[in-house]
Amino acid sequence: MSSEDQDAQEDELLALASIFPKDEFKRSETSQGGELQACLDLPPNFEILIKGDAAANFFNEHFHNSISFLPPIVLHFELPSDYPSASPPNFTLSCKWLSPKQLARLCQHLDDLWVENAGCVVLFAWTQFLKEETLEHLCITSPHEIEVCPIVCQDWSESSDTAECSSAACSLEEASLDRRAIQDVESVSALIKCILDFNESQQKKCFESKSYMCNICFSEKLGNECTYFKVCHHVYCNICIKDYFEIQIQDGQVHSMNCPEPKCPSTATPAQVKELVGEELFSRYDRLLLQSSLDLMPDVVYCPRPSCRTPVVQEPSCNMGICLSCHYAFCTLCKLAYHGIIHCNLTSEKLPMVLKEYLAADEKHRRFLEKKYGKKIMYDAMEVESQDWLKNYSKRCPRCAAHIEKIDGCNKIHCTKCKEFFCWLCMKILDKTNPYDHYNDSRATCYGLVMQI
Query: Which residue type sits at 204?
Result: K
The predicted structure's pLDDT at residue 326: 92
More confident call, 38 vs 402: 38
- Specify the pLDDT at position 154: 42
Q: Of the ranges 259-273, 320-334, 379-393, which one carries the lowest mean pLDDT score? A: 379-393
Query: What contacts 158, CB < 8 A, 6 or more positions away?
Result: none
The pLDDT-based confidence of 13 (bands split at 50, 70, 90) is: very high
Mean pLDDT of 333-339: 87
The least confident of 7-11, 93-97, 165-169, 243-247 is 165-169
Q: Which of 238, 225, 235, 291 is nearest to 261 (CA)?
A: 235
Q: Is the peptide bond before 72 cis (omega within 30 degrees of 0)?
A: no
pLDDT of 159 strictly over 60 = no
Q: 26-55 burial, b for 16+ CB within 10 Å, e for fewer?
A: beeeeebbbebbbbbebeeebebbbebeeb
Q: Give the whole-angstrom CA distance, residue 421 versus residue 396.
A: 12
Q: Which residue has the higher pLDDT, 188 or 316?
A: 188
For position 175, what pLDDT does the model report? 42
Residues 269-328 pLDDT 10s = 888 888 888 888 888 888 887 777 776 777 788 899 988 988 888 876 788 888 989 999
Residue type, 430: L
Three-state secondary-structure class, residue 285: helix
Alpha carbon 349 to its chain's center: 47
HSE, side-chain direction, 13 A CA sphere, residue 303? 16
Q: Find out whether 233 and 242 touch, Cβ atoms under 8 Å.
A: no
Task: Supply the pLDDT for residue 284.
Answer: 86
Residue 162 has pLDDT above 60, yes or no: no
- Long-range contacts from 369-376, C-beta under 8 angstroms, 24+ separation: 371/319, 371/333, 372/333, 372/334, 372/343, 372/344, 373/343, 373/344, 373/346, 374/343
SS3 73: strand
258 versus 128: the higher-pLDDT residue is 128
CA distance 229 to 14: 40
| pLDDT for 182 | 92
pLDDT band at 136 (very low <50, low <70, confident <90, very high): very high
Report d(CA 50, CA 189) in Å as an integer: 10
* The most confident of 135-149, 167-181, 301-315, by mean pLDDT: 135-149
Give the model confidence (pLDDT) of 41-52 as tens digits.
899 889 999 987
Q: Which of the residues are catalytic?
A: 410
CA–CA dist 406, 399 (Å, integer): 17
Pairing of strands 220-222, 226-228: unpaired
Q: Is the pLDDT of residue 107 over 70?
A: yes
Confidence grade of residue 171 (pLDDT, cut at 50, 70, 90): very low
Q: What percent of the chain has pLDDT over 70?
A: 92
Please provide the average confidence, as pLDDT, over all residues in the chain. 85
Confidence of residue 170 (pLDDT cuts 50, 70, 90): very low
**Ramachandran assignment for 448, one of left (phi > 0), alpha (psi -120 to 50 degrees), beta (any other):** left
**Element containing residue 91 per DSSP (H, E):** strand 90-94
The 10s digit of each residue's pLDDT in 347-365 is: 777 777 887 888 888 888 8
Q: What pLDDT does residue 233 have?
A: 87
What confidence score (pLDDT) does residue 236 get? 93
Q: Domain ranges for the chain, please list them.
A: 3-199, 210-295, 300-331, 351-393, 404-453
The pTM score is: 0.58
Query: What pLDDT, on the 0 to 100 scale, is given for residue 156?
Result: 38
Concatenating the DSSP letter of every residue in 259-270 gives: -SSTT---B--H
Q: 390-425: per-residue pLDDT in tens? A: 777 788 899 898 888 888 888 888 898 898 999 998
CA 67/CA 394 separation, integer angstroms: 76
Per-residue pLDDT reduced to its tens digit, 223-248: 999 998 888 889 999 999 999 998 88
Distance CA(355)–CA(377), nearest Å, equals 10
CA distance linking residue 251 with residue 245, whole number of Å: 10
Over the range 165-177, which residues count as b (16 or more CB within 10 Å of their CB) and which as e? beeeebeeebbeb
pLDDT (average), residues 1-27: 92
Q: Give strand ranges (E) for 253-316.
A: 300-302, 311-313
The CATH number of the domain covering residues in 3-199 = 3.10.110.10
pLDDT of residue 157: 35
The pLDDT of residue 18 is 94
Res 1: pLDDT = 67
Q: How far apart are CA 427 and CA 309, in angstroms?
A: 61
Cβ neighbours, 10 Å, residue 11: 11
Is residue 106 within 8 Å of residue 137, measured between CB atoms?
yes
User: Which CATH architecture describes the domain 210-295?
Assistant: 2-Layer Sandwich (3.30)
The Cα 68–Cα 11 span in angstroms is: 34
